[in-house]
Structure 1
Amino acid sequence: MTTTDTHVTVSRTIDAPAKDLFEVLSNPEHHAALDGSGFVRSDEKTDRITATGQVFRMNMVGEHMGGEYQTDNTVTGYRENHLLVWQTAPADTPPPGWEWKWELEAQDAGSTLVRLTYDWAKVTDKALLAKVSFPLVSENQLEDSLNALAEQVAG
C-alpha cells in the first residue's frame, strides 16, 4: 500500500489468471460490484472496454456531488490482460484530472498481482481542489475493491 499527496495504491495477489481478471475489469457492467467506495450504482452503457479513447458512463451517488449523478470515464490506458486506466469526469464535461489505474502482472498461470491506483496528481482546478477533499476514496475502500474483484472471479 502506498499513499502520497497525489495518489493511493493498493495491491494484492489474486488466485486467477490475468485474462479472467481483465475480463471482469473491462466490462463496466461489473464496476458497481467492484466499487469499494459505494459511489458506483450501475453502468449506463455496457459496451466492453477494448481500446483507449472509449468513454463509458456510470450512474453514481455521493454527498460530495449532492446525491445522484453520472460520470463519463475516458479510457486513457489499455493493454489487454495487463492495464486499464480511465479518467473520470461529471457527465458531459472534460476530465478534470483524476484517474483510476488497474495493473495486472501474472505471477504464474493461476495467480496475478493486481495493483489499483487512485491518482489525482493531474487535478489543477483550484475550485475543484477546494470543493473535493482528495483522496475521496480511502485505502481501505480500494482494498475492498480488490477483494470484490477476487470474489467476482472466484464466484
Structure 2
Amino acid sequence: MNETAHGEKQQTVTRTIEAPSKDIFQILTLPARHHEFDGSGMVRSDEKSQRIQQVGDVFTMNMQSSNGEYQMENHVVAYDENKLVGWKPAPLGTEPPGWQWVYRLEPVDQDTTEVSLTYDWSEVTDQNLLEKNIFPAISSEQMDESLARLQSLV
C-alpha cells in the first residue's frame, strides 16, 4: 500500500490490480456495486441509481454508521471514461459540504491497472464540521480495504 497525505487535507492509497482499466471502471461507475467494495462498512446499497455517465450525475446511497441509517446524494465531479471517476457526497437534499472521493485508473499494460483512491476534504469550509475533528472520517486502512475488495471483484 502506498499512502500520501497532503497537509492533512487528503489521503491517497494506491494498488496495482491485475485487470484492464475498463473492467475496473465498469464496477466503479455502477452504484449498485459500491457496497461490494466499500472498506468502511458504511455503504449498504444504492437507491435505484443508474450507471455514472458524466460529471453532474447524482446517485443516492443508503448508508449506515454508529448514528444509524441515512442516505447520501453523491454529486459526480470527475469523469473520464476508463481513467477517472469522483464524487462529492452530501446529506439528502443539501449541497455537498466539500469532501470528495476520486478513483484514478492508470494502465500499466493491457491487463494491469494502477488504481488510486483519494479522499480529499480540502474544500470543507463549514467550521462546525471542521471543529468536530472528524476528518479523515475514513482511515487509509479502510481505503486500502476498498481497493483490495475492488481487486477481488475483477
Q: TM-score range by the shorter chain?
A: over 0.9
Structure 1 segments of 4 or more deviating over 2 A?
none
**Distance apart, 1:128 and its partner CA:** 1.4
**Distance apart, 1:129 and its partner CA:** 1.5
Q: How high is the TM-score relative to the length of structure 1?
A: 0.95
Q: How high is the TM-score relative to the length of structure 2?
A: 0.96
AA aligned to 1:3 is: A
Question: How many corresponding residue pairs?
Answer: 151
Secondary structure of the structure 2 residue equivalent to 1:20: helix
Q: Which runs of 5+ in 1 are unaligned?
A: none
**Distance apart, 1:46 and its partner CA:** 2.7
Report the equivalent of 2:74: 73
Is it true that 1:105 corresponds to 2:103 in the alignment?
A: no
AA aligned to 1:79 is: D
Mapped partners of 2:42, 2:130: distance in 1: 19
**Distance apart, 1:133 and its partner CA:** 1.1
Secondary structure of the structure 2 residue equivalent to 1:123: coil
Report the equivalent of 1:3: 5
Report the equivalent of 1:133: 134
Is it true that 1:13 corresponds to 2:9 in the alignment?
A: no
Instruction: Work out which of the residue numbers 17, 23, 28 in structure 2 matches 1:25.
Output: 28
Matches within 5 A, 1:31-110: 31-63=34-66, 66-110=67-111
Mapped partners of 2:114, 2:49: distance in 1: 26
**Distance apart, 1:132 and its partner CA:** 5.1
**Distance apart, 1:107 and its partner CA:** 0.5
Mapped partners of 2:100, 2:52: distance in 1: 16
CA RMSD after TM alignment: 0.9
Q: Which runs of 5+ in 2 are unaligned?
A: none
Secondary structure of the structure 1 residue equivalent to 2:104: strand
Secondary structure of the structure 2 residue equivalent to 1:149: helix
1:33-83: per-residue Cα shift (whole Å, max 9, x none)?
Answer: 1110011010012300000000000000112xx211100000000000000
